[in-house]
């Protein structure tokens, strides 16, 4: 408890001391301000000695306490004293110092006083009006800034006086007018003497002796009443000039004598000497301050010299380190040049290898395209002839040999499509389309197309479509079908006497986007954990025996990459001997208005009883026969030619409803033939029947004037739908 009291007492003492120090500082500053006011009072009483001595003391203390406002005020007062005993250059020096400190503290009043006093010295003491008047203008600027009408009136009177003394009455008149207009409101006794004097000067200039005399007499009278002896002396001088001008020489002499007497009384020699001594003391103080600064600079230079020696030593050390570094850098640079040379050679080798790889990639793409075209052409014949045999010999429809032939041809076509598909994906040539379709219907079609494989392995397929699925969705139907078909065909292939289940459910919905989760599971052989990542690589079939399974190993690789286009991924769960489950989610748009718009824009098969005339341009004899039989079976009238020249010759004589154009023909290809047909203003619809991939030739086909592209082997219903649509549109236009 006692300790707490001691601590409390200690803090009370400290607090009291702080308050005491603060109050002492405030008292000291107040005393200093009073001394400054007293020095100004001595100056107004023409006691320059006391004014200078007191201003010197105030200046010392103000510099010690860093009171820049008092420093500026003291320098200003010292300058005024020097001006009074004609030390004009020194006065200017101190007024400039005052201005410097006034700017530091941003005191507009002190800046006004400094500028006004500089104007006074230059105009009325040094008679340099060109240099003095700009200072008066700056003083007026600060008057307006602080909104002091008294100061503005004061400076305006000074400016009028300066202009009049310089015989420039034209420029001085506006300031005289301002003074006359504002004197009653803003004037005071201290400037009345000068105010009346400058009015007398102006009337003297106008030649109005009476008015000039009245104003000058008022000026003299007022000056004596208020003891403005300095201004009265100037008034006597101006009045003597007026009297002398009008021939009143005796009176002029009297006033001139009074002017001299007043000057002598104001600036008597003893006062000037004492004031000069006081001024010398002020200057001595300034010299002492400069000497102190010089000593400080000298000490700083000494310290800098010591630092310089240390820096030199450090520089030598650093220089030695730099030499070592330079030596190391030279060695490293030599080594780097050697390495860079080796890298340049290696880089050149890499560039050559890159170019070769790009050429090889282009050759691979070209090879894939060419080989697929060469394989599709005979496949078209095989599939077409198989269909013809079934149509012409109905009893062969159930022949296992014919069914096997048909399956083998379609299987070979599927392999070609897989190779082309993976090639397109790798070259980023696939862009997702937007079309309306029913997910349930699409899955049913896929299961029907795979029914042979399911029956062959004695598998049962189950479809579970959740009720929350929208009836129609918008998306890329073809890519979706490829994903489902590849996974389901794999499930059917690796499952025997088992079950394959396909389920679909809406996982979540965001706006118009439905995220539909698909799950395809089987009860087949399963996939070992160590092999589960491999199966998505190209040309990989895990645990395959040559006699067990068929395929290229591209199916799941295509699935993975197509799902990436949908911003999705496939998840795999599998147990050896129990089966495999693939799960993935695809976002589809579900918008009833968009769906209706897309459905309404779908071309409808407009079959009619009209017999269409078809021109078939095909160089392959087997394909000629297959296409012709197909057309005639559907009641089309056909004309077959082997090349483009024959087609042009026939078109000169006959007209046709539709032209089926092969692309890869000798002499002249299908594009060139189409361009020539269009150049002859023949508007007959032309459909390309080609083994080339559609995306490879689409741009050139459109430029040549082809209306559509059908890839061989093709779906017959699709071909006839395209033909009916194009013919109907052509007839409606004509």
pLDDT digits (tens, 9 = 90+) for 683-712: 899 998 887 777 778 888 888 889 988 887
Q: What is the CATH number of the domain that holds 245?
A: 1.25.40.10
Of 718 and 363, the structure prediction assigns the larger pLDDT to: 718
Q: Say how far apart CA 262 and CA 232 lie, in whole Å.
A: 8
> Average pLDDT of 241-249?
86
> Average pLDDT of 713-718?
75
Same domain? 521 vs 662: no
pLDDT tens track for 466-503: 888 888 899 888 788 888 988 998 889 889 999 999 99
Res 235: pLDDT: 86
Phi (first) and psi of residue 588, to 5 degrees: -125, 150
pLDDT tens track for 86-141: 788 888 988 898 888 888 888 888 888 889 999 888 988 888 888 888 998 888 89
Q: Say how far apart CA 62 and CA 78 lie, in whole Å.
A: 14
Q: Indicate if the pLDDT at residue 413 is higher than 50.
A: yes
Q: Say how far apart CA 212 and CA 196 lie, in whole Å.
A: 9
Query: Mapped to the 3 state alphabet, what secondary structure does 301-355 carry?
Result: HHHHHHHHHHHHHHHHHHHHHHHHHHHHHHHHHHHHHHHHHHHHHHHHHHHHHHH
Q: How confident is the model at residue 13 (pLDDT cuts 50, 70, 90)?
A: very low
Res 48: pLDDT: 76
Dihedral angle, C-alpha 192, 197, 199, 201, nearest 10 °: -170
Q: Say how far apart CA 552 and CA 419 lie, in whole Å.
A: 9
Res 460: pLDDT: 92
> Average pLDDT of 161-175?
89
Q: Indicate if the pLDDT at residue 722 is higher than 70.
A: yes
Same domain? 476 vs 595: yes
Asked if residue 657 belongs to a domain, the reply is yes
Q: Indicate if the pLDDT at residue 384 is higher than 70.
A: no
Q: What is the CATH number of the domain that holds 640?
A: 3.40.50.2300
Of 228 and 192, the structure prediction assigns the larger pLDDT to: 192
Under DSSP, the state recorded for 656 is -
Asked if residue 74 belongs to a domain, the reply is no
Same domain? 533 vs 670: no
CB half-sphere exposure, 148, CA atoms < 13 A: 17
> Average pLDDT of 386-411?
64
Q: Say how far apart CA 719 and CA 690 lie, in whole Å.
A: 12
Same domain? 588 vs 454: yes
Q: Indicate if the pLDDT at residue 285 is higher than 60.
A: no
The pTM of this model reads 0.40
Contacts 24+ apart (CB under 8 A), 184-188: 185/149, 186/149, 186/150, 186/152, 186/153, 187/150, 187/153, 188/150
Cα 597 to Cα 278, 594, 601: the distances in Å are 106, 5, 6
As a whole-number percent, the residues of the chain with pLDDT over 90 amount to: 11
Q: What is the CATH number of the domain that holds 578?
A: 3.30.565.10
Asked if residue 111 belongs to a domain, the reply is no
Return the CA Rg of the chain.
Answer: 57
Same domain? 573 vs 649: no
Q: How confident is the model at residue 405 (pLDDT cuts 50, 70, 90)?
A: low
Q: Indicate if the pLDDT at residue 1 is higher than 60.
A: no
Q: How confident is the model at residue 348 (pLDDT cuts 50, 70, 90)?
A: confident
Under DSSP, the state recorded for 607 is -
Same domain? 488 vs 450: yes
Asked if residue 478 belongs to a domain, the reply is yes
Same domain? 467 vs 580: yes
Cα 385 to Cα 404, 630, 642: the distances in Å are 14, 10, 20
> How wide is the angle at C-alpha 399 spanned by C-alphas 395 and 403, nearest 5°?
125
> Average pLDDT of 15-34?
67
Short-list 262, 240, 259, CA closest to 251: 240
Asked if residue 63 belongs to a domain, the reply is no
Count of domains observed in the chain: 3
Mean of pLDDT over the chain: 79
Q: How confident is the model at residue 22 (pLDDT cuts 50, 70, 90)?
A: low
Same domain? 559 vs 619: no
Q: Say how far apart CA 153 and CA 456 lie, in whole Å.
A: 119
Contacts of 727 by beta carbon, 8 Å cutoff, 6+ apart = 612, 657, 658, 685
Asked if residue 381 belongs to a domain, the reply is no
Q: Indicate if the pLDDT at residue 142 is higher than 60.
A: yes
Q: Indicate if the pLDDT at residue 35 is higher than 90.
A: no
Q: Indicate if the pLDDT at residue 41 is higher than 90.
A: no
Q: Say how far apart CA 438 and CA 541 lie, in whole Å.
A: 32
Same domain? 570 vs 647: no
Q: Indicate if the pLDDT at residue 621 is higher than 80.
A: yes
Take residue 261 and report the two structure tokens written for it.
Answer: 């007497």
Res 461: pLDDT: 92
Q: Indicate if the pLDDT at residue 44 is higher than 80.
A: no
In sign, the C-alpha dihedral spanning 558, 561, 567, 573 is positive
Q: How confident is the model at residue 414 (pLDDT cuts 50, 70, 90)?
A: low
Using the 3D structure, point to which of 215, 232, 267 is the last residue of a domain.
267
Q: How confident is the model at residue 240 (pLDDT cuts 50, 70, 90)?
A: confident
CB half-sphere exposure, 608, CA atoms < 13 A: 10
Q: How confident is the model at residue 558 (pLDDT cuts 50, 70, 90)?
A: confident
Q: How confident is the model at residue 665 (pLDDT cuts 50, 70, 90)?
A: confident
Same domain? 591 vs 472: yes
CB-CB contact of 516 with 556 (8 Å): no
Q: Indicate if the pLDDT at residue 222 is higher than 60.
A: yes
pLDDT tens track for 443-470: 888 888 788 788 888 999 999 988 888 8
Q: Say how far apart CA 81 and CA 50 lie, in whole Å.
A: 10
Asked if residue 705 belongs to a domain, the reply is yes
**Core vs surface per residue 201-229: b (16+ CB within 10 A) or e:** bbbbeeeeeeebbebbebbbebbeeeebe
Same domain? 445 vs 562: yes
Pairing of β 686-690 and β 658-661: parallel
Asked if residue 443 belongs to a domain, the reply is yes
Res 519: pLDDT: 94
Domain housing 505: 433-542+549-600
Q: How confident is the model at residue 270 (pLDDT cuts 50, 70, 90)?
A: very low
Same domain? 461 vs 581: yes
Using the 3D structure, point to which of 534, 569, 600 is the last residue of a domain.
600
């Amino acid at each position: 408890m006692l300790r707490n009291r001691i601590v409390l007492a200690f803090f009370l003492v400290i607090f009291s001391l702080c308050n005491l120090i603060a109050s002492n500082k405030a008292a000291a500053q107040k005393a200093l301000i009073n001394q400054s006011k007293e020095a100004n009072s001595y100056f107004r009483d023409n006691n320059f000695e006391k004014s200078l001595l007191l201003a010197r003391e105030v200046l010392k203390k103000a510099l010690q306490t860093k009171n820049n406002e008092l420093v500026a005020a003291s320098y200003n007062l010292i300058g005024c004293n020097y001006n009074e005993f004609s030390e004009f250059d020194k006065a200017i020096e101190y007024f400039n110092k005052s201005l410097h400190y006034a700017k530091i503290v941003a005191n507009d009043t002190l800046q006004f006083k400094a500028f006004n006093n500089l104007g006074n010295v230059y105009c009325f003491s040094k008679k340099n009006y060109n240099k003095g008047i700009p200072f008066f203008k700056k003083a007026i600027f600060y008057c307006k800034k602080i909104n002091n009408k008294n100061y503005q009136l004061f400076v305006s009177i000074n400016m009028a006086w300066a202009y009049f003394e310089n015989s420039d009455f034209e420029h001085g008149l506006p300031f005289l007018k301002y003074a006359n207009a504002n004197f009653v409101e803003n004037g005071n006794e201290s400037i009345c003497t000068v105010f009346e004097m400058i009015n007398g000067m102006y009337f003297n200039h106008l030649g109005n002796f009476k008015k000039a005399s009245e104003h000058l007499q008022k000026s003299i009278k007022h000056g004596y009443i208020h003891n403005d002896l300095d201004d009265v002396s100037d008034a006597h001088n101006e009045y003597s000039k007026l009297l002398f001008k009008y021939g009143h020489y005796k009176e002029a002499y009297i006033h001139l004598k009074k002017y001299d007497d007043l000057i002598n009384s104001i600036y008597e020699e003893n006062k000037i000497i004492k004031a000069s001594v006081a001024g010398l003391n002020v200057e001595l103080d300034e010299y002492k301050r400069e000497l102190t600064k010089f000593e400080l600079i000298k000490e700083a230079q000494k310290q800098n010299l010591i630092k310089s020696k240390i820096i030199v030593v450090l520089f030598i050390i650093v220089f030695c380190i730099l030499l070592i570094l330079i030596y190391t850098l030279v060695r490293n640079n030599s080594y780097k040049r050697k390495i860079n040379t080796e890298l340049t050679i290696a880089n050149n080798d890499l560039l050559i290898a890159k170019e070769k790889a790009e050429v090889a990639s282009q050759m691979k793409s070209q090879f894939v395209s060419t080989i697929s075209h060469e394989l599709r052409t005979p496949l078209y014949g095989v599939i077409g002839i198989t269909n013809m045999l079934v149509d012409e010999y109905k009893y062969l429809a159930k022949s296992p040999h014919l069914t096997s032939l048909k399956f083998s041809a379609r299987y070979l076509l599927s392999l070609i499509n897989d190779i082309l598909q993976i090639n397109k994906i790798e070259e980023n040539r696939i862009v997702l389309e937007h079309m309306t379709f029913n997910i349930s219907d699409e899955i049913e079609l896929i299961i029907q197309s795979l029914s042979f494989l399911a029956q062959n392995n004695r598998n049962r397929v189950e479809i579970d479509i959740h009720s929350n699925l929208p009836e129609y969705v918008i998306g890329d139907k073809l890519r979706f079908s490829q994903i489902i078909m590849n996974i389901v065909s794999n499930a059917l292939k690796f499952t025997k006497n088992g079950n394959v289940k396909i389920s679909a459910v809406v996982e979540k919905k965001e706006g118009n986007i439905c995220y539909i989760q698909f799950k395809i599971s089987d009860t087949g052989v399963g996939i070992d954990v160590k092999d589960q990542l491999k199966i998505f690589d190209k040309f990989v079939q895990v645990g395959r025996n040559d006699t067990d399974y068929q395929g290229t190993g591209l199916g799941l690789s295509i699935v993975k990459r197509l799902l990436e286009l949908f911003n999705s991924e496939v998840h795999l769960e599998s147990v050896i001997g129990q089966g495999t489950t693939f799960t993935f989610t695809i976002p589809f748009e579900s918008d009833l208005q968009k769906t209706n718009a897309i459905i309404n824009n779908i071309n409808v098969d407009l079959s009619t009883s009209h017999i269409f005339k078809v021109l078939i341009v095909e160089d392959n004899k087997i394909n000629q026969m297959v296409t012709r039989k197909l057309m005639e079976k559907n009641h089309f009238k056909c004309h077959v030619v082997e090349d483009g020249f024959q087609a042009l010759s026939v078109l000169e004589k006959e007209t046709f409803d539709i032209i089926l154009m092969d692309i890869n023909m000798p002499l002249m290809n299908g594009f060139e033939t189409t361009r020539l047909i269009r150049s002859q203003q023949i508007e007959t619809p032309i459909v390309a029947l080609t083994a080339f991939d559609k995306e490879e030739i689409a741009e050139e086909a459109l430029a040549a004037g082809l209306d559509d592209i059908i890839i061989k082997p093709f779906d017959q219903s699709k071909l006839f739908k395209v033909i009916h649509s194009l013919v109907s549109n052509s007839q409606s236009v004509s």
